[in-house]
Chains A and B, each alone.
Chain A
Amino acid sequence: MIEVMEKYIIKTEQIDTWLKRIIESIPRVLAPVSSGTKTEFRKIKSTEEVDNKSFTTTVSAKAAAFPPVETLFKYQKDGKDTTLTEESFDKYPETVLWHARSCDAMGFSPLSAIFDWDYKDNIYDERRNKLTIVTFACIQSDECCFCTSVGGGPGNVEGSDIQLTTLNATDTLVEVMTEKGQKLIALLPDIFQPLSEEVDKEAVLAKMPVRFTKEEIKEHVSNAFDSPVWKRQSARCLGCGACAFVCPTCACFDIQEDAHGSHGRRLRCWDACGFSLFTQHTSGYNPRPTQATRWRQRILHKFSYMPERLGVYGCTGCGRCSRACPVDMNLQEHLISIANSNHE
């Protein structure tokens, strides 16, 4: 259970004044910005850019610490000598992730577990350490959301440094969980009023019934490696990477070379287990030769291997994969069907 260190009330109309101060003080502020029909996290320079209306972004916030592509090091060959230059940590700016959701904030826990599993990935760690997360509790949800079924919730504060909850037309509850959060409050302390009486936060949150438990899923899938369920569920899967790329916890990456003759960069970029090439060996052999085996890997990794090895599940119930899927591979629907199934 995450402890809330401080609680305040901020006048809802003053939130932008605070955000303005944050933008002035912090080099990079990422917030949901609307463009075309979609809303995505982008670097903002003014409060007007923030899309406060749409309740979630297509792509999760993971790029704040695990960008789609990043340089691991640069190299320069000179005769027989090769000089390697690591990226300077100064390149990773102090960042505030603004108006994220509980499911975004929760996603950094599995990401950190993966990147610090045995080798400590100092590039990821540096970016993560420089990240302060301000979430807005969800007062609405859609049919793809299922955070409450995987241990989260619309007002879950795990992973958030600060969480704001709109209580009514004038007041917003501010919960501060960390020192990082306190630093943001300290930027404009006068606009935060200490909480004089307890407020009923739950009452304003989106109502989301628990449809299954993650432990239930783990129990079912852990012994279902040879089940026909994978082939049946994955029949319509097209094998693209949309689900993995929008997911807050998918951490698989590819190492690529941006080579230019005698110099170049070694890059880490997002990869997806749904791609047939993902496990293709140089010999031509592919241990996951069908979409069914790749779908099985996706579910088992999130609901069996990760809890077993890392003690954390690889799903925050954000529903982004389901919204992004061109063929309606609805994760909640598939998990409910798994939870209700007998081992076949």
Chain B
Amino acid sequence: MDIFSNIALGLEIALTPVNLLYCFLGVFLGTFIGVLPGIGALAAISMLFPITYHLEPTTALIMLAGIYYGTAYGGSTASILLNIPGTSSSVVTCLDGYPMAQQGRAGVALAMTAIGSFFGGVFGILVLSLFSPLISNSALSFGPAEYFTLMVLGLIAASAITEGSAAKGLAMVVLGILLASVGMDPQSGIQRFTFGTLDLMDGLGMSALAMGLFGISEVIASIRTKTDGTTATVTPHAVSMRSLIPTRDDMRRSWMPMLRSSSIGSFFGALPGTGPSIASFVSYAMEKRVSKTPERFGKGAVEGVVAPETANNAADQTAFIPTLTLGIPGSATMALMIGAMMVHGIHPGPQMMTEQPAMFWGLVMSFWVGNVLLIILNLPLIGLWVRLLTIPYHLLFPAIVMFISIGAYSVRYSAFDVLTVAGFGALGYAMRIFAMPAAPLLLGFVLGPLIEQHFRRAMVLARGDLAAIVERPISGVFVIISVLLLGWSLWSTFRQTGKAKLVESEN
């Protein structure tokens, strides 16, 4: 079978000492940051992004991916021990994780989380390995029109479904594409929106944008809440090695939820717009519904911890399916991954599997290695993670600001890039004031140049006939779905009456 030789090739790449080292570094730093409350995967990746500029592309991707799924592991620790979700995808874990900790079963909750996460991760990787070649093959015949419409569909889905207000999400996507148009227009060579300065000729840097929008503005927002006295000093529950061992009853209860949640997570992870957070909510709700004893949920049911953590890890892995096979990110984190590939001159898409098989399968297999490392890392080091939770935020945030400044400067040794970070930090804070979501802006920014090029090329091929896009069968279908989605989401914006909605801000 073909797939076995691919897996062998991937393992060969993933197990080289250098890649193994950076995979370890990635999951370690990811867990570290995921444990710290108030810093999510996006801020973590954008902060550590500049470091990977100096690495080989495959190694860089392996490390970034490790940070990404490492934060999901770490986030659950803060949820269980402190009732403060470290990341948005572990919000649900608080519901039953913290009651378990109060009952003195924190160790079991953490251990079952690690096992569930591992199971979900491995399941997601399997789905990824099986489906990616199929999707890649069917996308090989795509022309500019198909890519353009598919990207528009992806952006509409990602911004319209999950955010509170569809019009705001869509506006942020458009703003992102506009910001991406700063710099030289590759087709005519004209400088756009540079106002005569040399600094803007290469355009605005993606890492500067991400660090300002997610790093700096998150720091500003978190300082507010911390000094307003909302969090008291915390004393996490002590966790010993012995307390980690689950009872036979725990294992029996968790087996089926793991299987169900892996499927739910894999499904929602691969769809654009939904992601680990939605997957964790849905799987929790599902377990509560199918359970014979739903009254135990919210009071320390082990299923209520296992289900969301399994689902969000499965989703973390399958989110790579559209990213790697089509080059279309379903979430802001995936947009950062695509940006990282472009920095190294790699354009993810259907050709990637055939032209860069070593990189593709090396990356996929590194997920496997990373998941094994995480389970080895997490259980014995839980004492260390617990102690991390006691670091006060007033010592932490100056360090974050410093790392962001140095990181932004080290990308191309340009002081202007650091000023850009401050500018986007201000924009990010303003967007928080007006409740505008930041993730769609990043998506638009990363896909912007591609959308414009594909659109202009498609129009040249069609001799300026817009109807030609609709008449092609595949792109026509994408257009119809986009229009329906757009109409539906804008309609619900107007009907919406300030109801609380799921906000997917962190994937």
B is bound to A: no
